[in-house]
Amino acid sequence: MIDRANHWFYAERQLTPGATVEKMRQDLWTYGFYNIWLTLTKKEPPYGVSGLWGADKFEIEFEPRRFLIIRLPQENEWLKTAFTRALGMAPHFWYQDKAGQVYEWRMADRDGRWQSMQGLPAFKSLKRLYAVAEA
């Protein structure tokens, strides 16, 4: 069960960007994904993080309580599973862009984001994976 009161993504009161990324890494390790390392690359929201999963590089863009996006050069089911467990939900969108494979988790404005991506050539093979009704 995720403690949303002090979770790096869900908490209303956020830590510093560096501490948030450290808590993200620790959370992934807690779920058994030990071979991951994260480095903060952008200190203003949306935050940027470069990651290593073994020898595989990936990028994260996120804004707590709003969204998290992972960009990977190729498909990586383990990394998708790691963030699904850490966030307690499956990704909402999957598509391909110039960087490779992209997964998006959205807490806010899912339908607006989905509509904004429709028909744009930057979003190849766009799929909605997990539709949730917004209140």
Which of 27, 49, 29, 47 is CA-nearest to residue 38?
49
List Cα–Cα distances, 23 to 10, 13, 94, in angstroms: 12, 14, 25
- Read off the pLDDT band of 5 (50, 70, 90): low
Higher-confidence residue of 30 and 135: namely 30
First to last CA, the chain: 23
The C-alpha atoms of residue 89 and residue 114 are separated, in whole angstroms, by 17
Cβ atoms 52, 70 nearer than 8 A: no
Q: How many residues does the chain have?
A: 135
* pLDDT at 114 (0 to 100): 87
- Read off the pLDDT band of 2 (50, 70, 90): low
Tokens of 9: 């993504």
Q: Where are the domains of the chain?
A: 17-128
28-87 tens-digit pLDDT: 998 888 889 999 999 999 999 999 988 899 999 999 999 999 999 998 889 999 999 999
* pLDDT at 126 (0 to 100): 86
